[in-house]
Structures are given as structure tokens and as C-alpha cells.
Structure 1
Amino acid sequence: MTPGNNGASTPEDDDPFGYLYADGQANGATPPSGGGGYGYPGSVNRVRAVGERQYGQPAPTAQYGQQAPTAQYGQVPQQQTYGQPNAHYAAPETVGGAPTTRQPLPGDGGGRGRGPNTKGLLIGAIAVVAAVVIGIGVAMLGGNSDDDKSGDQAGSTPSTSQSAEPSQSSTSSAASEGDLPKIDAKALNLGTGVTTASDVKGANADGGIYVTGLNQVGAKVTWTVSGIEKAGSYRLYVRYDIPGVDANATLSVNGKANTQPLGMKNFILSPEGDWEKGWQSTWAPVTLTKGTNVLEISCGQGNQCNAFLDQVWLQKG
């Protein structure tokens, strides 16, 4: 076969890189050139070298009935010399006049980025803490040391340290608004059938004397109180004794009965039938006028009045 027509005698002899070796050069192998293929003279299918076609130009097309050119076996693209610019590549700094030097950050004073103003943040935090500490101190200094003062309330039983001594008369006077009267039940104006006794122990009245006989319709006791300096709402407290069974009575103020009876319930749950363990206290709201008022405890129709009376007293409501 002639090299000018069909290339090398065998495919393996048609080495595209033969020009790199001594025996290839001896056989006429040449490097690629601008005129077409490379390798041995007369190699099959000479085509255009890689990179020869310019970017943006249409690729060559084969005429009708003709075969399009194909690359030679093993053909490689044209080598680019190191350091020379590529015709198809443009560096960023050459496009649009982009700066090639680093621009300093705003306010960095010399190209150096500055972090947040930590000094200012620290000063602000210290100011907040100082304000909180000062506020706490002012609140502590301005606290009211009288918060633990007890109110004008009575417990389940009257205190034994009351300064006012029970009056021995059915009429009591209040020295002032803060010093309201207290009286033993035996000193009240006793109605028909009502009497006193001292058989059951536990009464706080002088001599342990209490009022009995209220357990019948029509029985009553009356307390006339004078010297009330201010009209308004008050509480009438009553210390009583029951045999472990709830009782009640009608309470009237200045001749007008309260809508609710005076409840004398077994609040302490004393055993039924045991009079000595049934002493306890209750209270009911009353509206008094300035000056003198008449308070009445009676056993009316529908009341359960089986109770002893020990003491009665007033407190501001």
C-alpha cells in the first residue's frame, strides 16, 4: 500500500504521536501543523486541527452525499503555550474595567475591617445594670415597715387581752371610734323567761356567768349602745355555747330585723351533747347610726335557739 493514498501499512503503525520518537521521525512522522492533520505522511482522514475553528463561526457541514470530516485516530488538541493568553478567554479584570486592586472597606482607616463597637456595648450594659441596682435600692429603702400590722378582724374567739372591761349595765358607750364597746351577756336587758347560770364551765364573762333560756319563741336580750361617732357598717360579735348542734336567732337593729338570722353554727365541730366543749364565736353585719343604737337578739318563729350567750361586742365592719 502506498503511504500517499492509504497511510501506514498497518493501523498500529499510524501513530499520531510518532513524531515524538526517533523511529517515527525516521519514517517521516511530523507534528501537527496549520495545514491539517498530523502523524505520518498520507494518514487517513485528514481533518482540521482542534482550535483552528474560530468561536462563533458555524461548523463545516458536509455536502449532500459527502462524508463529514472526522478527527484522525488519537488526534489531540493544539497545545497552548504556558503564559500566552487564550483567544477564547478573557480575564475578569479585562471585562468592564473591573478593578484589579482590593478596595478598602468603608471606615476601616487603612484597608482593615473593623468589628462592632464592643466598647460602646459594654458601657451600655453597665449603665442598664446600674439603673436596675439603683431601682432595687430605692424600692427597699421606701418599703413600708408597717406591712405586718394586723387588721381590725377578730378570730374565731374574742381575745382575752381586750382592754375594755365588760360593762355591768345594759347600756354601753363607745369612748371613740377605735374603742367600740364590749359587754357580758349577763349585763344585757334580759327578756321574759331569760335568766343567767354558771353550771357549764368555759364562759369568759365575769364569774363564768352566761345567759340561758333563749330556746323558746319570744325570748330575747337587748343591748343599747350609745356614743357611736360615725354611722356606717359594723360587725356584731357574739360568743355562745351549743351542745354540738347548730343554732340561730333573729338579730334586729333599731327595731328592724336583719334579712339573715344570727348563725350560731357548730364551727369547731364539738361533740353533740357536750356543752363544755361547744364555746365558740360568730358575727353578723349591722348598720348603725351616729349616736345611740338598740341591738336585739331574739328567738322567733323558725329559729333554733338552743344556745347560751357569753359576751357580745362591736367592731368596725
Structure 2
Amino acid sequence: MQGTLQEVGSGQPISFASVVLLRSRDSTFVAGTQASETGAFVLARVPLGQYVLRATAVGYRTGRRVVALTAAAPTLALGTLRLRLAATQLTDVVVTAERPVVSDGLDKKVVDVTKDLTITGGTAIDALQNVPSVTVDQTGAVSIRGSGGVTIFIDGKPTTTTLDQIPASSIQSIEVITNPSSRYDASGAGGILNIVLKKERRDGLNGQASATAGTGEKYNTSLSLNYRKGKLNAFGSYDFRRDRRRINGTLDQTTTANDTTLLLHQDRSGVNYQTSHAVRLGLDYALTPSRP
């Protein structure tokens, strides 16, 4: 599938625009690419089906076109797609938007966990259990699509902190990277999970405090403060968590060696208490303007 992006009216090519192909029935991400300097783009190895092609570029309205690949026409030449200029004369406009819970990109899937009430008072393990394609077993081992060897990052940096030490209340989003780019270490054979912690982006002093309580002696409190001035950003947070969980388990095992058969039956029950204090302090300085 190939085509060219041009501006309506002038016919000028739209360079380096983002082109994404979504499945029409559920808007699932299928493929994506970036247009060349001449506005040309190619999407290769696209399976047959009904799709919506979406093209976006800064300063232009989003362009959409419904396309279909069939057995009779497995490839498609779209020709020229024209995008209209967006309005630029805006004064005193404030735009507020809700982030989608799950958003797909070219190399990762981003899950916003701030609105997930089921993880309130929990840890990063509870947050990961609600992330699509991610599985956490009883020992805390993480796998992506059934593959182990997952590398855990915090704010894009490797960490030795265990998942049960990260309060869920301090997490902004979780990025699932199944095909890491060259910027990441290749040690994560099964993929990379990047846990993005909350950080206020408005200038001035900002803070947030919360306290939750649940049945069975479950308590969680958190306090975060953030001061931003231009390119300088200082932040800190404190989280306290106490959790009591009852454990029940049964194990049946049969072992046969030569003419001997050994049967093992174990019942396990108990109460697990966890109390944690987490303190985070940091200082950022943006050498270059941040991208949205």
C-alpha cells in the first residue's frame, strides 16, 4: 500500500507526516510509517481486510480514508491524499482532553493506570495484572505474551527496585515495548516494561495527597510535591503502604522411579503482612524543549 501526501490548494508535499493503518472494526493498530521528504509513504506486508488510513502532520487537519485489501487486489496504490491546513489564528484557547486508557504507537503500547480504581492501595504488581498481554505469576515474575526475560525500566532507566516496592498510586502509565529500538539494551529478550511515574508538568508548586483504606487491614497514603520553573523541575514523594493478605494453596505431586511411586500432597495457608515506606526525590533539567 503506497501513496503521496500533499497540501490542499498549493499541492506542496507534506514531509515526514505520520501515517497509521487501523483495523476498521475496532481501531486496532496494524501498521505505521513516516512519509518521506517528498510526502511519499509505503506500508508493506499488510494482511487482507478492511482498514482506516490516518495521516497526521503538524499544522494540518487529520486525514482519513477507508481502504480495503482483498484477494483480488492484495496491493493498493492510493495516489495523492490531500490534507487541509489547520486554523492558526487562535487566542486565549484552553484545550482539555481525556487520555485514552490504551494507546498504540509504532514501537510500544501505553496503558494509563491513573483511572484504574482496582489498583488503589496496591503495588506495581497489581497495576501490571490489568495490562493487556502482560502476565504476573505468584512469584512476581513478569512475562509478555508468554515470554519471560522481561526487563523493567522506571522512567526509561534500568532499575533494581522490585515491583512490590513501587506503590501503584505513584504510577502514571506503563509502556509495553515488545520490539525495543536501539536506544534500549538488548538484554530484554522478552520485551521491556517502562513504568512512568507521576510528575507534574505545570510551572509553580504543585502537590497531591491521598489516603485509602480497605477491609482486611489494607492502608495506603501518599504525598507528592513538585516545583517547576522553566527548564528546572524538582520533585519528591512519600508513600506508605500496609497490606494483609491471606494465602491458601494446595500441591499434589506424583513421582515415579523404577517400581516406586511417590505421592505428595501439601496444603498451605497463612497470612502475609507487608509494610513499606517509599521516598523518591529527583531533579530534572531539560536541555532541549520537551515533545508532547
What TM-score range do you get, normalising by the shorter chain? under 0.3
Q: Which has the larger radius of gyration?
A: 1
Which has the bigger relative contact order, CA under 8 A and spacing at least 6? 1
TM-score of the superposed pair, with normalisation by structure 1: 0.16
What is the TM-score of this pair, normalised by structure 2? 0.17
- Give the helix-richer structure, 1 or 2: 1
